[in-house]
Amino acid sequence: MPNHALSDLLARLDFAWRREPAKPGPLDNIQWRANACDAGSILFFQRFDDGRTDAEIIERYLVDSACAVLVTNRMIEGVERLPGKGIYVTHPGDWAAVVGRFCDCVYPLDTDGTVFLGVTGTNGKTTTVKYLEAILSAHGRPVLSVGTLGLSLAGEPLVNTGFTSPPLIELRRLLHAHRDRYAVVAMEVSSHALDQGRAHGIPLLNAAWTNFTQDHLDYHGGEAAYFAAKARILDMIADGGRLYTTSSDVAERLRENGQPRVPVEALPAATLGAEALAAKPFLALAHNRRNYALAVALADGILGPGAREDWRHLSAVDGRFECRVVGNRTLVVDFAHTPDALETILSAIRDAFPRARVATLFGCGGDRDRFKRPLMGEAVARHSDHTIVTSDNPRFEDPERIIADILTGMPEAGREVVIERPLAIARLLDFLAERPEDEPWVALVAGKGHERYLDAKGHKSPYSDQDEIERNLIRLGWV
C-alpha cells in the first residue's frame, strides 16, 4: 500500500459530514474494533438501532479508542467527547461501498483468480457449505470456507471468527491473509451480513438459498424486511450466475416480488440409494438431502455436471445431528435453535426412529427474537414425549424470563424446567436411566451444537453439550 494512500482516499471521498483531525498524522491501517486501534488507525464503526443511546456507545466503545479517525454510517451525538479525532459520516446507503474502497486499498481482492460461492437461508447454511467444501476438496480444489464454524482450509480449521459472516474489514483481511492458499471461497451469508454490507463487493459465481422461516425479527423488525435482506444475495451474484433453492416457497416469492436479476432454480432433495444412506446415515434426514442437493449444484458450477458420487466425500458436520448410541438410548446433539429447525429435526427423528419415544432438552437465546420462543415450545411439545426446558446463551436477559416466554407455547404435562444447562443434561440422563431398559428413547439436546461456551452477563464461559453428556454417561456407568 503506497504511503498516504488512506489519507488520500479519505480526502477524495464524498462524505455527508466531516471534521478533520486536529493534528493529521500518517494513517496506515483500518479497523472495525475500537480496542484494536492505534494512532495510525481509521476506525469504521457501524451504528445500529439496538436500543442503546449514542452516549452509551461513545462511553463503551469510542472514548478510549486510540484511533486517529472515526468513520460512521450516521451522525453520533456527542462527538465533542472525542477531541482531536477526525470524524467522517457517510451518506445514507454509502456505508458498504465506502468501507469496500478502503478494503480495496489495504486488502486487495483477487476476483479474477478466485471463485466465490455463497449460501444463505434461515437453517442449513453451515451444513451446505461444509458439504460443498468436502466435495470440491475431494476433486483437488483448494477451498476456503467461511461460516458459523469459523474459517477452514480444505476442511481444516484455521480460526474461529465468532461470526457466521464476519464484518467486511475482517472478511477482507482473512481473504487477503490466505490469498495464496485457495482457489475457491465457499461462504455463509447471513441476513445480518446482507443488510449491513458485510459481503459487499464479493462477486458470487452462483449462490444457494436453503429455506426461509422465522428468525431474527428482533433485528429486522418484521418478516418482510427479513426476507428482503435475504433476497439481497441476488445482487451479489455475477452476470451469468444463478440462485439455487430447495424451497419452492422461496422461489415463488422471489418471482412474485418481480423478475429476479438472475435465474432462480428450485431443486428437489437429492435421491440416494441404500448404500449411501447406510454409509452416511445423516443423509437419511430429508433436510440434509436438500442441503446436499444444493452443495452438488454449486459444485457443478465449478466441476461441471456429471455422474459423480459426491456423497462418498461427506462427513457429519460438527453439532449437526451428532449421534451417540447406548443400548436403547440414542443421544442427538444438534444446533437447532429456531421453530422450523426444531420442527424439522424432531420430524426427522420421528421418521427415522418410529418405535422410539422422544425426549427433548432445549432453551432459547437471550436478547434475540422473543416472538419465536413460544413457537419453539410448540414445536418441541408437538413431537416430544418428555421435555426439559433450560438455559441457552441468556446473554443479558434473565433466564427465567426467557423460559417463561417459551412455556407459553407448551402444555404443562410432560415438561420440566431445569435452568442451569449442565444440571438439565444430568436430569435428562437420569430420566433416561429411570425408563425401562427395553424401551427405546431418542434424546435430542438442541440449541448449542458446535458451540463450546455459554454466553451470560457479557461473559462466555467454556461449556460443551457433548462434554456434559460424556460426563453423565460415565457417571451412570454407561461407558
For residue 218, the model assigns a pLDDT of 66
Among 265, 287, 313, the domain boundary falls at 313
CB 43 within 8 A of CB 70: yes
pLDDT tens, 135-153? 999 999 999 999 999 999 9
The number of domains in the chain is: 3
Among 289, 313, 337, the domain boundary falls at 313
On the question of pLDDT at 462 being above 80, the answer is yes
Helix (H) or strand (E) holding 132: helix 125-138
Same domain, 127 and 264: yes
Give the Cα-Cα-Cα angle 264, 265, 268 (nearest 5 degrees).
145
114 is written with which cell numbers?
A: 478466485
CB 213 within 8 A of CB 337: no
Taking residues 186-193, what's their average pLDDT?
Answer: 95
Instruction: State the angle between helix axes of 372-383 and 399-407 in degrees (0 to 180), rounded to the nearest 10.
Output: 60
On the question of pLDDT at 453 being above 90, the answer is yes
On the question of pLDDT at 220 being above 90, the answer is no
Same domain, 271 and 340: no
58 is written with which cell numbers?
A: 461513545
CB 210 within 8 A of CB 125: yes
Same domain, 188 and 301: yes
Same domain, 162 and 306: yes
Taking residues 266-283, what's their average pLDDT?
Answer: 92
List 460's β-bridge partners, or say none: 455
Tell me which amino acid residue 186 is.
A
Q: Residues 6 or more apart from 11 whose CB is under 8 A from it?
A: none
For residue 312, the model assigns a pLDDT of 97
On the question of pLDDT at 217 being above 80, the answer is no
Strands 150-153 and 386-389: what pairing? unpaired
3-state helix, strand, coil in the chain (%, to 5): 40, 20, 40
CB 149 within 8 A of CB 240: no
Same domain, 280 and 374: no
Helix (H) or strand (E) holding 42: strand 41-45
Taking residues 415-444, what's their average pLDDT?
Answer: 97
Give the Cα-Cα-Cα angle 121, 126, 128 (nearest 5 degrees).
80
Q: Which of 84, 86, 77, 3 is nearest to 43 (CA)?
A: 86
For residue 216, the model assigns a pLDDT of 66
* pTM score of the predicted model: 0.85
CA distance 337 to 341: 6
On the question of pLDDT at 39 being above 90, the answer is yes
| Cα distances (Å, whole numbers) of residue 75 to 18, 220, 347 | 10, 21, 48
What is the CATH classification number for the domain harbouring 337?
A: 3.90.190.20
Q: Provide the sign of the torsion angle of the four alpha carbons 207, 268, 291, 121, taken in this order.
A: positive
Residues of the chain above pLDDT 90, percent: 84
Taking residues 394-422, what's their average pLDDT?
Answer: 96
Same domain, 17 and 45: yes
Taking residues 345-362, what's their average pLDDT?
Answer: 93
Among 267, 296, 313, the domain boundary falls at 313
What is the CATH classification number for the domain harbouring 9?
A: 3.40.1390.10
CB 410 within 8 A of CB 387: yes
For residue 222, the model assigns a pLDDT of 85
On the question of pLDDT at 428 being above 90, the answer is yes
For residue 336, the model assigns a pLDDT of 93
CB 414 within 8 A of CB 384: yes
CA distance 42 to 29: 6
For residue 49, the model assigns a pLDDT of 84
Helix (H) or strand (E) holding 346: helix 339-352
Taking residues 3-26, what's their average pLDDT?
Answer: 94
Taking residues 318-344, what's their average pLDDT?
Answer: 91
CB 177 within 8 A of CB 108: no
Strands 41-45 and 69-72: what pairing? parallel
On the question of pLDDT at 3 being above 80, the answer is no
pLDDT tens, 222-243? 888 999 999 999 999 999 999 9
What is the CATH classification number for the domain harbouring 128?
A: 3.40.1190.10
First to last CA, the chain: 58
For residue 51, the model assigns a pLDDT of 81
Q: Which of 293, 285, 288, 251 is nearest to 268 (CA)?
A: 293
90 is written with which cell numbers?
A: 457517510
Q: Which residue has the higher pLDDT, 49 or 267?
A: 267
Taking residues 453-467, what's their average pLDDT?
Answer: 94
Same domain, 81 and 101: yes
Taking residues 103-122, what's their average pLDDT?
Answer: 95
pLDDT tens, 91-112? 999 999 999 999 999 999 998 8
CA distance 130 to 124: 10
Q: Mean pLDDT across the chain, nearest whole number?
A: 94
On the question of pLDDT at 182 being above 90, the answer is yes
Same domain, 78 and 121: no
Same domain, 192 and 73: no
Same domain, 165 and 226: yes
Among the listed ranges 180-189, 339-348, 410-419, which one has the minimum average pLDDT value?
A: 339-348
Q: Residues 6 or more apart from 72 whose CB is under 8 A from it?
A: 44, 45, 46, 47, 87, 88, 89, 90
Same domain, 276 and 388: no
| Cα distances (Å, whole numbers) of residue 137 to 112, 184, 248 | 20, 10, 30
Same domain, 100 and 119: no
CA distance 457 to 367: 11
On the question of pLDDT at 12 being above 70, the answer is yes
Helix (H) or strand (E) holding 157: strand 156-159
Q: Which of 213, 168, 164, 212 is nearest to 190 (CA)?
A: 164
Residue span of the structural domain in which 221 resides: 115-313
Q: Which residue has the cell 454449486?
A: 298
Instruction: State the angle between helix axes of 5-12 and 95-106 in degrees (0 to 180), rounded to the nearest 10.
Output: 160
